[in-house]
Structure 1
Amino acid sequence: MRSFSSLSAVVSATTLIAVLALPASAMAVELSSSSPSYNDKLSLIHNDYGKDVVIRSDISIDELKKMRDTVSEQSRQIEELKRNSGSSSSSSGKDIDELKNKVKEQDRELDSLGRQVEELKRNSGSSSNSSSSEISSLKHKVNDQDRAMDQLKRSVEELSRKVK
């Protein structure tokens, strides 16, 4: 839960910075001191025919948390699998299959997020520096997760060879 609150603070701070960067005539956003909910969507700055506006993306805080939890669970399972690699091969084979399925599922999620980012880029036209940096940040996160996924795949394949 601690990570969620820090993620909420980053999201809130990003939204606040985005709102403050807009000219006073463009502000139609109400600021609130209430805490964000899991189903809240990330806000982005969109250039609408030369006018910067804040828009809601398709990425929710809950989706980000689920991705983080999936990666944590996979890491835990791999560590457990490494510790138990000397035990029965049937249970290790089952664990490997589960990990492979989770890796495939996360690949699909990453592909979906990548498509969403690309769609947001296409829809934003000539976006402001702030929205470009947010998209760039999302791209870096997706790339980092891709690298982590490749590393997990290699570990699973290596463990699979040891089990055989």
Structure 2
Amino acid sequence: MRSFSKISAVVSTTALIAALVLPASAMAVELSSSSPSYGDKVSLIHNDYGKTVVIKSDISIDELQKMRDTLKDQSQQIEELKRSGGSSSSSSGRELDELKNKVKEQDRELETLGRQVEDLKRNSGSSSNSNSSEISNLKQKVNDQDRAMDQLKRTVEDLSRKVK
């Protein structure tokens, strides 16, 4: 309600200025000490072909109040978006770094498994049956690692698009 009194002070001041500006013969404005109501219209000083007149606008006091409240709400939402936008991008950046590190680690593991497969192929002379099952197991691990790596790459790409 406090802001309503500020608006009524502006309206009263406008009416007072209008009363002072208008010549005495054109004084049709009566000043009152009563409080304005929400349906009241804001008065304006208007130049009508060289003649200064007070006119009633189409803007009511309650519309001014609604506009002010809307601006206040929008300002708060913008500030909230600024705060949340900054924190989400930094957390996404951290997640992205963690995923990149996991991909690098899995690349190293894949290289190690690949070398082990090559060593097993070279040493597969007499014990080919047991090596064959080990090779199958290693191939399965490599395939699993490949799938996991593909999934991580897709996740990194998705997060990269979100960060942009």
TM-score by length of 1: 0.47
- Larger relative contact order, structure 1 or 2 (CA cutoff 8 Å, min sep 6): 1
Larger radius of gyration: 2
